[in-house]
């Protein structure tokens, strides 16, 4: 049996660009030098998308169980027997139904240890809702399934890493959700992830303010004085190198983010707008703080270009390699901890 890293892949909404970017990524056979990909969907749906791209030379190796995966081929597990009606570019109930089936099966195998990581293609957060899925998105669902007390939406690229205190909630609810305890929890998760998943030995984290001009000493809001600064001080007392709060507009405009290993934003758009502006083609959404590894491209279902062979696979490809790298770092870290002599040599080599 191969010890190559196994990456589970959920296909997302069948009416979106998920399978397009998956196929465009896996058609490069060099991928199989780094991992064994296992896609959870159905070959009929994949063939439909493959034909829209006029690709004839690509085929999935069909398996019934992740343990049967061929380590030199892109694998697919057929997760249903139904004939699925595909309506490219449309948000349909069917699209949500099969996105969930794919996600659930892939996540179950990840939790069972049959795969090493999960890369999720984009879902529609509305049509996937059902009795089985009542969550704001992938992040919240996966956190619930693995019984993690907290998680961090962590957007990463080569040039910038941004996490958020609050995720998929209305802007009107943000101020009441910003608490010292929550900021501190996200800082701890970010600090741990930077060390464990990205091998940053002494992470420096910038914290953004909530209000314009970071509150301007209370003139434009008190959240910075009453909540954010106390959280930063407590993080510092725990050995976390957190700095701020910074006014978000000037922080990004002056490229101050380049002086830090990561940035903690207070809410979704405050962090994701600059991140996507800076790294849209190669950005990755990583769910930090979980016992499992999950990544995703930083784009949505792309209904407007579905079926037109226009979708860039760059972000999905980066998500795949980010998952591979994090799994490898975690494995190597575990080996170093279990072998003190190797750890000593490793530390000297890095000095």
In the prediction, which pLDDT does 207 show?
98
For the chain, give the mean pLDDT: 93
**How far is it, in rounded angstroms, from Cα 124 to Cα 122?**
7
**How far is it, in rounded angstroms, from Cα 296 to Cα 18?**
11
Residues 242 and 160 grouped into a single domain: yes
Backbone angles phi, psi at 119, to 5 degrees: -115, 125
In the prediction, which pLDDT does 329 show?
94
Residues 95, 124 contacting (CB under 8 angstroms): yes
Residue 342's pLDDT band (cuts 50, 70, 90): low
**Of 282, 303, 318, which residue constitutes the final position of a domain?**
282
In the prediction, which pLDDT does 137 show?
87
| More confident: 168 or 261 | 261
Residue 215's pLDDT band (cuts 50, 70, 90): confident
DSSP 224: I
Please give the average per-residue pLDDT across 205-228, as a whole number: 93
Nearest to 66 by CA among 79, 47, 49: 79
**How far is it, in rounded angstroms, from Cα 143 to Cα 131?**
17
pLDDT digits (tens, 9 = 90+) for 299-316: 999 999 999 999 999 999
The 3-state DSSP class for residue 159 equals coil
In the prediction, which pLDDT does 3 show?
78
Residues 306 and 196 grouped into a single domain: no
Residues 205 and 297 grouped into a single domain: no
**How far is it, in rounded angstroms, from Cα 189 to Cα 205?**
12
**Of 263, 282, 301, which residue constitutes the final position of a domain?**
282
Residues 143 and 26 grouped into a single domain: yes
Residues 179 and 76 grouped into a single domain: no
Residues 96 and 207 grouped into a single domain: no
Residues 267 and 297 grouped into a single domain: no
For position 317, which CATH number holds? 3.40.718.10
**How far is it, in rounded angstroms, from Cα 179 to Cα 125?**
26
Cα-Cα-Cα-Cα dihedral sign, residues 86, 88, 91, 95: positive
Q: How far is CA 337 from the centre of its chain?
A: 26
Overall domain count for the chain: 2
Single pTM value for the model: 0.91
pLDDT at 1 over 50: no
pLDDT digits (tens, 9 = 90+) for 79-138: 999 899 999 999 999 999 999 999 999 999 999 999 999 999 999 999 999 999 999 889
Residues 210 and 340 grouped into a single domain: no
Please give the average per-residue pLDDT across 316-320, as a whole number: 97
| More confident: 165 or 340 | 165
**Of 232, 255, 282, which residue constitutes the final position of a domain?**
282
In the prediction, which pLDDT does 340 show?
60
Helices (H), the chain: 18-26, 43-52, 93-111, 138-145, 174-177, 180-196, 223, 229-237, 248-253, 268-279, 314-338, 340-350
Residues 190 and 305 grouped into a single domain: no
Residues 245 and 345 grouped into a single domain: no
Residues 136 and 221 grouped into a single domain: no
In the prediction, which pLDDT does 346 show?
47
Domain assignment of residue 224, given as a range: 150-282
In the prediction, which pLDDT does 16 show?
97
Cα-based distances in Å from 23 to 9, 11, 307: 11, 10, 13
Residues 8, 109 contacting (CB under 8 angstroms): yes
In the prediction, which pLDDT does 2 show?
61
In the prediction, which pLDDT does 351 show?
45
Please give the average per-residue pLDDT across 270-289, as a whole number: 93
Residues 114 and 162 grouped into a single domain: no
Residue 287: partners with Cβ closer than 8 Å, 6 or more residues away: 138, 139, 142, 143, 151, 152, 153, 154, 294, 295
pLDDT digits (tens, 9 = 90+) for 282-303: 999 999 999 999 999 989 999 9
**How far is it, in rounded angstroms, from Cα 315 to Cα 296?**
8
pLDDT digits (tens, 9 = 90+) for 229-250: 999 999 999 999 999 999 999 9
**How far is it, in rounded angstroms, from Cα 206 to Cα 192?**
15
């Amino acid at each position: 049996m191969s010890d190559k890293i196994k990456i589970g892949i959920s296909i997302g909404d069948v009416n979106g660009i998920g399978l397009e970017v998956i196929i465009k990524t896996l058609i490069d056979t060099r991928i199989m030098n780094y991992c064994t990909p296992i896609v959870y969907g159905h070959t009929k749906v994949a063939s439909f998308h493959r034909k829209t791209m006029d690709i004839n030379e690509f085929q999935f190796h069909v398996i019934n169980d992740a343990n049967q995966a061929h380590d030199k081929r892109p694998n697919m597990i057929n997760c249903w027997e139904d004939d699925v009606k595909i309506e490219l570019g449309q948000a349909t109930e069917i699209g949500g139904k099969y996105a969930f089936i794919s996600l659930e099966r892939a996540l179950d195998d990840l939790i069972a240890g049959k795969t090493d990581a999960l890369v999720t293609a984009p879902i529609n957060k509305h049509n996937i809702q059902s009795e089985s899925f009542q969550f704001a998105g992938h992040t919240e669902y996966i956190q619930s399934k693995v019984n993690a007390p907290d998680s961090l939406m962590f957007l990463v690229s080569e040039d910038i890493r941004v996490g958020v205190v609050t995720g998929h909630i209305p802007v009107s609810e943000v101020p009441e959700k910003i608490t010292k305890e929550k900021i501190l929890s996200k800082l701890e998760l970010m600090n741990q992830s930077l060390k464990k998943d990205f091998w940053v030995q002494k992470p420096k984290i910038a914290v953004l303010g909530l209000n314009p001009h970071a509150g301007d000493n209370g003139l434009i809001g008190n959240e910075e004085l009453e909540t954010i600064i106390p959280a930063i001080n407590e993080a510092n007392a725990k050995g976390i190198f957190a700095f701020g709060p910074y006014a978000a507009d000037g922080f990004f405009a002056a490229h101050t983010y380049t002086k830090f290993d990561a940035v903690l934003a207070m809410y979704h758009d405050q962090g994701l707008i600059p991140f996507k502006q800076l790294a849209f083609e190669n950005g990755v959404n990583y769910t930090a703080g979980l016992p499992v590894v999950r990544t995703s491209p930083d784009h949505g279902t792309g209904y407007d270009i579905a079926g037109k062979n226009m979708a860039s696979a760059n972000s999905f490809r980066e998500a795949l390699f980010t998952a591979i790298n994090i799994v490898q770092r975690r494995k190597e870290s575990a080996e170093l901890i279990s072998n003190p002599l190797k750890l000593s040599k490793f530390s000297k080599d890095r000095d």
